[in-house]
């Protein structure tokens, strides 16, 4: 449908033209009316108009003056003039403004329809030519950009130089934006081809140039997008244009020559290809932060260059068993860290997590038959691990699965609370732990908590804490740490006090123990 604006100061004329003519039968639609020339100019800012029907005599601004004002900036709108007999000579002057036709008042419906038929045919032909030109231009753009991306020494290539000149790509600055569909279900070479025309309408020619390459849609901008605000505005424009299509976007650093686009393309493409590993962000760019950095230490030694599935099944199951959400998150995150250290791909990470979650749900099903219903419900959710768009959402999703199970556990009984306390000691033995402080944390009287703890572990709180510290001290001494370093790392500020404690529980001094371990390890 072609859009129509009716401009006349007489309400009867405006309403009559709008309602009496079967506009849609002839390929037109009246989108608005205006009471004078000034009103018409305001309506032009609001609507995209193809045809205006204008009264030649109106107060303030005549129809001729209105057409003259519009023609200064727009040569595409068509005009039909309405005039009285006395205005016939005046109306003929409008011919120089490329007016399609004029009608004498009172308006004859058939005469207007006779004008609309040929006008629509002419507009259809023009539209077809524009689309064909647009298609050819799109082909040339893609051809040039892919030439720049794939041609060695493109700057010296005469054919590439010629195309650069034809497309007038002598801009002072460039920024490349690369867009990729998050989940592609289509079979064509570039799933974003269906969106290309929309992006061309949004960005060309004022802001830049749109092209296709491989499975990506590129926007070559002729402006700076360095600030957070400008990047936010750009992403909002891109998202609005993409509408409901889920996309991911990366942006290059600014460059000064079109011949540098190859480097910018590989820079932005690499970001998109590795987007799974970055923290959630609207736009990926150089310096974007990884969700988990590689080669960070973990508590379990990696053997045979593979993920220790059983070890982490036990660690995470323990956190679930004592209903400790904090420990659960820490262990899931550490499992993820191990996979990053092993340089797993996105597919390998998702595969291992599916195995890990399945293994844990099986353990929970056997050990906690009372939770069978919730376990069955969350088991259905395992398939969605594969659909998580990035590492951050994947880890959050797995946490959510197990927290649903924890949420159904009866953790208010004394045994559950003591299990949480024991776990807390093992994770924080190096801190200045006191029963009184922990009793407050667990909402117990300290004397009563001490009795519960003794009944559960067989040891008083301070004795149990000392034992945990001594076991960790032994491990550190075996690794060759100095006595004062070990004392500090396991929670003792006084080395002599640590020395006495160690001798009491282990039966020898820390120095003697370290020498003994060194001798035994030598053989």
Integer Cα distance of 461 and 515 in angstroms: 30
DSSP codes of every residue in 128-140: HHHHHHHHHHHHH
Q: Is 168 left (phi over 0), alpha (psi -120 to 50) or beta?
A: left
DSSP codes of every residue in 395-462: HHHHHHHHHHHHTTS---SHHHHHHHHHHHHHHHTTS---HHHHHHHTT--HHHHHHHHHHHHSS-HH
Structure tokens at 189: 């070479």
Nearest to 288 by CA among 263, 301, 271: 271
Residue 58 DSSP symbol: -
- Domain residue spans in the chain? 2-107, 138-277, 309-406, 414-522
Nearest to 390 by CA among 251, 308, 282, 309: 282
Non-local (6+) Cβ contacts of 226 within 8 A are: 254
Cis peptide before 489 (omega within 30 of 0): no
> Could you give the count of Cα atoms lying within 13 Å of 154 in the half-sphere of its Cβ?
19
Non-local (6+) Cβ contacts of 416 within 8 A are: 322, 323, 409, 410
Name residue 219's beta-bridge partners.
177, 210
pLDDT at 191: 57
Q: Which fold has domain 138-277?
A: Alpha-Beta Plaits (3.30.70)
Nearest to 284 by CA among 261, 305, 302, 267: 267
> Could you give the count of Cα atoms lying within 13 Å of 298 in the half-sphere of its Cβ?
26
Class at the top of the CATH hierarchy for domain 414-522:
mainly alpha
pLDDT at 225: 87
Distances (CA, A) of 235 to 134, 197, 248, 269: 25, 18, 10, 17
Output phi, psi for 429, to 5 deg. -60, -25
Place of tokens 């190859």: 262
Non-local (6+) Cβ contacts of 93 within 8 A are: 64
Fold identical between 138-277 and 414-522? no
Nearest to 267 by CA among 366, 175, 377: 175
Non-local (6+) Cβ contacts of 468 within 8 A are: 425, 426, 429
Structure tokens at 117: 């038929």
Averaged over successive runs of 10 residues, the pLDDT of the chain (523 residues) comes to: 94 90 94 94 91 91 89 88 70 71 86 92 77 56 79 72 80 92 58 79 87 87 88 91 88 91 92 92 90 85 84 83 80 94 94 94 84 87 91 95 82 68 86 81 77 89 95 93 94 93 93 86 64
- Beta strand 51-55 pairing with 2-7: parallel
State whether residue 103 is helix, strand or coil. strand
pLDDT at 138: 62
3-state secondary structure string across 156-209: HCHHHHHHHHHCCCCCCCEEEEEEEECCCCCCCCCCCHHHHHHHHHHHCCCCEE
Domain 2-107 in CATH 3.40.50.300: no
Output phi, psi for 213, to 5 deg. -155, 125
pLDDT at 251: 95
Nearest to 240 by CA among 189, 203, 185, 290: 203
């Amino acid at each position: 449908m072609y859009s129509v604006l009716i401009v006349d100061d007489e309400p009867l004329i405006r309403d009559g033209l709008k309602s009496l003519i079967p506009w849609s039968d002839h390929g037109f639609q009246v989108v608005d009316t205006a009471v004078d020339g000034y009103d018409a100019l305001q309506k032009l800012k609001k609507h995209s108009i193809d045809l205006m029907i204008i009264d030649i005599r109106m107060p303030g601004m005549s129809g001729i003056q209105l057409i003259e004002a519009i023609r200064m900036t727009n040569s595409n709108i068509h005009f039909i003039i309405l005039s009285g007999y006395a205005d016939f000579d005046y109306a003929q002057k409008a011919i120089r403004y490329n007016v399609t036709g004029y009608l004498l008042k009172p308006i004859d419906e058939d005469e207007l329809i006779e004008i609309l038929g040929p006008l629509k045919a002419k507009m259809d032909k023009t539209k077809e030519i524009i689309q064909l030109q647009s298609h050819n231009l799109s082909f040339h753009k893609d051809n040039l950009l892919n030439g720049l991306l794939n041609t060695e020494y493109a700057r010296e290539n005469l054919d590439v130089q010629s195309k650069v000149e034809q497309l007038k790509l002598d801009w002072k600055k460039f920024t490349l934006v690369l867009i990729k569909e998050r989940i592609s279900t289509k079979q064509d070479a570039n799933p974003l081809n269906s969106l290309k025309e929309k992006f061309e309408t949004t960005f060309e020619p004022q802001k830049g140039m749109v092209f296709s390459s491989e499975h990506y849609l590129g926007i070559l901008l002729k402006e700076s997008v360095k600030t957070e605000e400008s990047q936010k505005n750009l992403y909002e424009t891109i998202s609005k244009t993409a509408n409901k299509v889920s996309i991911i976007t990366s942006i290059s650093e600014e460059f000064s020559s079109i011949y540098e686009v190859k480097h910018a393309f590989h820079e932005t493409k690499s970001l998109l290809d590795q987007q799974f590993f970055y923290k959630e962000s609207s736009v990926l760019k150089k310096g974007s932060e990884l969700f988990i950095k590689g080669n960070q230490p973990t508590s379990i030694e990696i053997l045979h260059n593979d993920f220790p599935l059983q070890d982490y099944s036990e660690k995470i199951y323990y956190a679930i068993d004592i209903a400790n959400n904090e420990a659960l998150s820490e262990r899931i995150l550490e499992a993820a860290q191990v996979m990053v250290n092993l340089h797993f791909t996105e597919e390998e990470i998702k595969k291992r997590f599916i195995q890990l979650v399945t293994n844990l749900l099986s353990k929970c099903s056997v050990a906690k038959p009372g939770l069978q219903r919730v376990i069955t419900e969350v088991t259905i959710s395992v398939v969605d691990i594969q659909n998580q768009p990035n590492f951050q959402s994947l880890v959050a999703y797995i946490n959510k699965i197990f927290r649903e199970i924890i949420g159904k556990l009866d953790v208010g009984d004394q045994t559950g609370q003591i299990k949480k306390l024991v776990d807390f000691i093992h994770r924080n033995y190096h801190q200045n732990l006191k029963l009184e402080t922990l009793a407050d944390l667990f909402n117990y009287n300290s004397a009563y908590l001490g009795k519960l703890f003794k009944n559960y572990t067989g040891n008083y709180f301070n004795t149990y804490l000392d034992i945990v510290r001594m076991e960790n001290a032994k491990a550190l001494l075996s690794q060759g740490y100095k006595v004062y370093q070990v004392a500090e790392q396991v929670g003792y500020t006084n080395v002599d006090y640590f020395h006495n404690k160690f001798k009491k529980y282990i039966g020898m001094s820390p120095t003697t123990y370290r020498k003994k371990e060194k001798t035994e390890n030598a053989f």
